[in-house]
């Protein structure tokens, strides 16, 4: 097992998008996946599915889809200015790195697709009052909450083994095509496409807005003085 403190991993597992062509041993990938499935999921359903794509032809197909998704993203971003907390040079580096991945997704030796299977309905659907149904519509934001903890475990486990990765979602613009390439059944949805490989760039440090800006005590507006 890789020896790395959890905090060292969290503070240095930045988004890495350029990879060496060196293959990732299955033994290591298996440990990363075994860390993924230690994550929590709603009702402990564990209805996740991970597709490890190593085949070059399959990677090329996914890379082509990702590139087209990237074209949409770049059109959406055309007039977007940098977030207030980011320097212009940091923003430019992020855009350059994301653009590189749009062109080179298939170059990563492994593409990992994190999916969730829709919960099976046992018995007839319950009859719920309209106000409850209305509230449930707002719960759409819960949809990824049973897979993204596993994705974060993957990010940290990769870091511990010296592997780079990044959570990407642009493929969702053409998710039907991704599902077709992977032969996924209708009730399985994809949530992240993660390139994995030995990185050409360095790990961390990770910079974020400070705790003092994003935490409040007891109620909104009351600063956390930690």
Ligand X SMILES: Cc1cc2nc3c(=O)[nH]c(=O)nc-3n(C[C@H](O)[C@H](O)[C@H](O)COP(=O)(O)O)c2cc1C
Exactly one of 14, 61, 159, 179 binds ligand X (CB under 6 A); that residue is 14
Tell me if 98 contacts ligand X by CB under 6 A. yes
Distance CA 155, CA 157 (A): 6
Nearer to ligand X, 2 or 74 (CB): 74
Number of residues near ligand X (by CB under 6 A)? 12
Q: How many angstroms separate the Cα of 104 from the Cα of each of 21, 31, 63, 126?
A: 12, 26, 7, 47
| Residue 195 DSSP class | E
**Residues in a beta bridge with 194:** 112
> What count of residues does the chain have?
226
Q: Which region, judged by CB under 6 A, interacts with ligand X, from 135-143, 161-169, 179-187, 209-217?
A: 161-169
Distance CA 153, CA 52 (A): 16
Nearer to ligand X, 133 or 206 (CB): 206
Tell the burial category of 198 from Cβ atoms under 10 Å away from its Cβ (0-12, 13-18, 19+). Answer: middle
Tell me if 152 contacts ligand X by CB under 6 A. no
Nearer to ligand X, 109 or 195 (CB): 195
Output the smallest distance, CB 167 to ligand X, in A. Answer: 5
Exactly one of 167, 173, 175, 203 binds ligand X (CB under 6 A); that residue is 167
Exactly one of 117, 169, 173, 175 binds ligand X (CB under 6 A); that residue is 169
Tell me if 166 contacts ligand X by CB under 6 A. yes
Exactly one of 12, 94, 95, 203 binds ligand X (CB under 6 A); that residue is 94
CB 116 within 8 A of CB 184: no
Tell the burial category of 209 from Cβ atoms under 10 Å away from its Cβ (0-12, 13-18, 19+). Answer: exposed
Output the smallest distance, CB 113 to ligand X, in A. Answer: 13
Instruction: Give the pairing type, strands 48-53 and 164-165.
Output: unpaired
Nearer to ligand X, 65 or 126 (CB): 65
Tell me if 76 contacts ligand X by CB under 6 A. no
Nearer to ligand X, 9 or 170 (CB): 170
CB 105 within 8 A of CB 62: yes
CB 175 within 8 A of CB 33: no
Query: In the complex, which residues of this chain contact ligand X (CB under 6 A)?
Result: 14-15, 17, 94, 98, 101, 166-170, 206
């Amino acid at each position: 097992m890789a020896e790395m403190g959890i905090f060292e991993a969290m503070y240095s597992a930045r988004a890495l998008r350029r990879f060496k062509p060196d293959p990732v041993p299955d033994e290591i990938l298996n440990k990363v996946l075994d860390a993924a499935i230690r994550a929590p999921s709603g009702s402990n359903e564990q209805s996740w599915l991970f597709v490890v794509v190593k085949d070059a032809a399959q990677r090329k197909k996914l890379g082509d889809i990702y590139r087209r998704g990237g074209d949409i993203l770049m059109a959406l971003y055309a007039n977007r200015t940098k977030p207030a907390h980011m320097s212009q040079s940091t923003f430019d580096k992020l855009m350059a790195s994301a653009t590189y991945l749009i062109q080179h997704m298939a170059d990563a030796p492994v593409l990992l697709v994190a999916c969730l299977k829709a919960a099976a309905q046992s018995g007839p659907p319950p009859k719920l009052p309209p106000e409850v149904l209305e509230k449930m519509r707002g719960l759409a934001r819960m949809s990824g909450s049973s897979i993204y903890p596993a994705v974060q475990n993957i990010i940290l486990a990769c870091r511990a083994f010296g592997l780079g990765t990044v959570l990407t979602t642009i493929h969702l613009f053409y998710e039907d095509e991704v599902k077709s390439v992977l032969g996924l059944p209708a009730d399985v949805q994809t949530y992240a496409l993660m390139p994995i490989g030995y990185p050409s760039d360095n790990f961390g440090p990770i910079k974020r807005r400070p705790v003092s800006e994003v935490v409040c005590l007891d109620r909104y507006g009351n600063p956390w003085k930690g």
